[in-house]
Structure 1
Amino acid sequence: MNFKTLFIFLFCITSAFSQVQTEVAPPDYIKTITFKGNTPESQLPILKLGEYLKLEFDALNGDEEDYYYVIEHFNYDWTPSVLSKVEYLEGFDNQRILSYENSFNTLQIYSNYKLTIPNQRVRRLKISGNYMIKIYNDYDELVFSRKFMVYENKANVGVAIKRSRDVRTIQEKQSVDISISSTSMRFTNPKQTVKTVIIQNNNLNTTISGLKPMYTIGNELIYKYDTESSFWSGNEFLWFENKDIRASNTGIQFIDLKELYHNYLYTNVIRHNQPYTYNPDINGNFLVTAIDAENPSIEADYVWMHFSLLVGELSKGQELHVYGNFNNYTIDESTKMIFNAEDYKYEKQILLKQGFYNYKYVVVEPDGTIDEGAISGNFYQTENNYKVLVYYRDLGARYDKIVGLGEGNSVNITN
């Protein structure tokens, strides 16, 4: 009986430890999380080992609370790695975020928090791999978490964007071809030791992983799949700019002042049945900016943005959401649109900080799957950004290294 109890206990501990970690979305009073590395246009930090990381967010409750950060290391599949803290981090985490300022000359009061890594306490991250930063409050409650990746430049990763090789989706999908080589390391048994992750537009919800090399040429690994590495192309993101909240800017039809400023966007229409039109975007990202502001982090105000889409009521169980990197592509009640039967359109108001924003409308099916092309359509001409991460765990190694990063863009798509 004692042995059986011990076995069950150890099994539960092992299962809990190997559980896949997902990001925790912030509560309503935490807004505008910007998470960047050396590439300011990206909200998904993929850092070269030794580069810096910047996290910034606003707390709208006006309490000037203390927040603490913890950094954890993960395997390729986002299960916790077996490494101890001292093996991947030099210094000490679980420290208070010291840099914060209160908003200045804004209708919405908030506190802006900033964290840079490395810093005096966390001097450096020692190894590459998957990481997650977790933000806690004074009561040791997890407020939110975000993933990031650190890579070593040990492998050359070639990325080519092609039209789909499946004639059924040749007008709607883009395929990613990969070639991996290295002059400083040899890939031993690559079908077991090498893993790849393909990311479209910094969106971790739609990644493709688990692909094995189709064949090798010397020490070069080749991935040229017909369907397994194909993404739905989507359409260019819609966008608006409200750096001046007192006047109608690009994409904004009219404004109103109540307890805060309200900006009403032009009503959008379905695009999946229209021809593709090139409309430059920033691939779902956003940028905080305000006119005549020396420091937009504390001088940019919050505005109620009113989104509307002219479309008939969806089938029972389906939901319509506003989608973008402004909330890390999260689907929840804060992005769910409500059908207005009188005007025959879906509407939603979202509190956003002044700036330049990309967004699109997506349909969430009853089983939880997201159809990004149901409203916007899928067109092979769409300009998308792709990143390829290469993981390597040698035989007997204890963690997954990221040994290379490749990047491609469909603006140069070929057949």
Structure 2
Amino acid sequence: MRKYFLPLYFVLFFLASYSQNNYTEPDYIKTIVFKPATSNLYTPIIKLGERINLSFDDLNANEQDYTYKIEYCNIDWGISNISKSEFIQGYAEDRIRDYENSFNTLQPYTNYTLTIPNENTRIKISGNYMLSVLNEDEEVIFKRHFIVYEPKVTVGVAVYKSRNISTINTKQSVEFIINHPNYRINNASEEIKPILLQNNNWQTAITSLKPQFYRGEQLLYKYNKETSFWAGNEFLYFDSKDIRSSTLNIATVELGRELYHTYLYTNEERANLPYTLFPDVNGNFIVRTLNGNNSNTDADYSWVHFSLKSHQILKNENIYIHGNFNNWQLNETNKLHYNNETGLYEATLLLKQGFYNYQYVTLTESGLINNKTINGSFYQTENDYTVIVYHKPFGSRYTKVIGVGFGNSEKINN
């Protein structure tokens, strides 16, 4: 939740390769959910041996044969040159066998599900992984990244208000400690590479941090400016679990010629408004429906209409709807367009029933993403923070992930 004009020494520019694909995801692939099997977890980070689940819909509903492929990645998400047998037991590439057609929905679709590890594929080592889904012509349909870690170290994470007087009310700063009492680290400043995330959004990740202090078997990262994020604002939300009814943030619902149309109340810029607490899941979404027992196949799709009232017409910036529902990507699908007749920025997205978090961000012609212009930034905002600890000992051929720490700004320190 911050702009990208940050000093080079702690911005991880290769993360553009994480979020930007060299292909376009087809319009008929929708609702890609990739998260741990554990309930109430949304970040694709698992401990070695635990399960991670993938689910997605094909609106063509013709029961295509899809294949998954798992590749091991370097810390910069480039494909590693280690052999498949070193990181996979079984097959690194196999068919997706579990699929089921939708039931009693206006929008027909086929829902595909996959669990890793499974009887044919087991992961052997920790690190960065890329999961690709390919069609019958071996073309990549979409990709998702995930992380496997070994709990070799523990990480304590604390969130503070910014100590910079100019940003004390708009930024949050993260401090963390890596504890390694039973794990040998020879040269921490060179071997240990922590990455700091806010709300699992790799577009704003911070890296290249070295320990400031050493205390026994602890590495202390007590930065302030270098580990500060724009606090942003609480995510907006709507809940379409009852597709025929309006709710708190849904103004009206209409049945069109083929599908329902869900019209949200018009949002206003919040940059100059007081901070207000909204219940959110920090940019994530949950598929759910009241119209069936299995949300994977019983939840329907509707055209969701977004509108934003802006105090000015932005000339050199575009506005996008931002969230995990489309892997935080900014593309033509979730771009808002100004409507001269209504005086509003508008966009329409085809979304499956559920609880959705979203926010509005601007993108400049030079590629800077800014979520402050529309949303504002308030230190009280509740955000999730994740510290991923990478370790590449001298002479090692790959980078391990030896620990993960989580923090939240709900109880922020002064």
User: Which interval holds the TM-score relative to the shorter structure?
Assistant: over 0.9
| Corresponding residue SS for 1:169 | coil
CA distance in 1, matches of 2:284, 2:46: 18
Q: Which residue of 2 aligns with 1:220?
A: 218
Q: Which residue of 2 aligns with 1:394?
A: 393
| Cα distance per residue 1:288-334 (max 9 Å; x no partner) | 11104111110100000000001145332310111111111110000
Q: Which residue of 1 aligns with 2:330?
A: 331
State the 1:278 CA deviation.
Answer: 1.2
| Corresponding residue SS for 2:332 | coil
| Corresponding residue SS for 1:153 | coil
Q: TM-score, normalised by structure 2?
A: 0.93
Q: Which residue of 2 aligns with 1:251?
A: 249
| Cα distance per residue 1:316-353 (max 9 Å; x no partner) | 23101111111111100000001012221101110000
CA distance in 2, matches of 1:64, 1:313: 47
Instruction: Choose the corresponding residue for 1:126, options 113, 124, 144.
Output: 124
Instruction: Choose the corresponding residue for 1:210, options 192, 208, 217.
Output: 208
Contact 2:132-2:143 at 8 Å conserved across structures: yes
Instruction: Choose the corresponding residue for 2:229, options 208, 225, 231.
Output: 231
- Percent sequence identity over aligned pairs: 49
Q: Which residue of 2 aligns with 1:50?
A: 49
Q: Which residue of 1 aligns with 2:9?
A: none
CA distance in 1, matches of 2:198, 2:53: 22
Q: Which residue of 2 aligns with 1:369?
A: 368
Q: Which residue of 2 aligns with 1:141?
A: 139
CA distance in 1, matches of 2:216, 2:182: 14
Q: Which residues of 2 match residues 10-89 of structure 1 at below 5 A? A: 24=21, 26-89=25-88
CA distance in 2, matches of 1:68, 1:139: 10
Contact 2:19-2:202 at 8 Å conserved across structures: no
Unaligned stretches of 5+ in structure 1? 1-18
Q: Which residue of 2 aligns with 1:342?
A: 341
Q: Which residues of 2 match residues 374-385 of structure 1 at below 5 A? A: 374-385=373-384
| Corresponding residue SS for 1:334 | helix
Unaligned stretches of 5+ in structure 2? 1-15
Matched positions, count = 396
Contact 1:87-1:126 at 8 Å conserved across structures: yes
CA distance in 2, matches of 1:38, 1:232: 31
Q: 1:391 to 1:137 in 2, by over 3 A?
A: same
| Cα distance per residue 1:25-73 (max 9 Å; x no partner) | 6211100000011444344310000001100000012222111000011
Q: Which residue of 1 aligns with 2:5?
A: none
Are 1:174 and 2:184 matched, yes or no? no
State the 1:20 CA deviation.
Answer: 5.4
CA distance in 2, matches of 1:276, 1:211: 31
CA distance in 1, matches of 2:382, 2:389: 23
Structure 1 residue ranges (4+ consecutive) displaced by more than 4 angstroms after TM superposition: 19-23
Contact 2:269-2:375 at 8 Å conserved across structures: yes
State the 1:23 CA deviation.
Answer: 5.4
CA distance in 1, matches of 2:364, 2:408: 29
State the 1:22 CA deviation.
Answer: 5.1
CA distance in 2, matches of 1:42, 1:336: 28
State the 1:246 CA deviation.
Answer: 1.1
Q: Which residues of 2 match residues 94-133 of structure 1 at below 5 A? A: 94-122=93-121, 124-133=122-131
- 2:272 aligned partner, one-letter code: N
RMSD: 1.4
- 1:221 aligned partner, one-letter code: L
Contact 1:42-1:202 at 8 Å conserved across structures: no
- 2:409 aligned partner, one-letter code: S
Contact 1:46-1:149 at 8 Å conserved across structures: yes
| Corresponding residue SS for 1:104 | coil
CA distance in 1, matches of 2:314, 2:262: 29
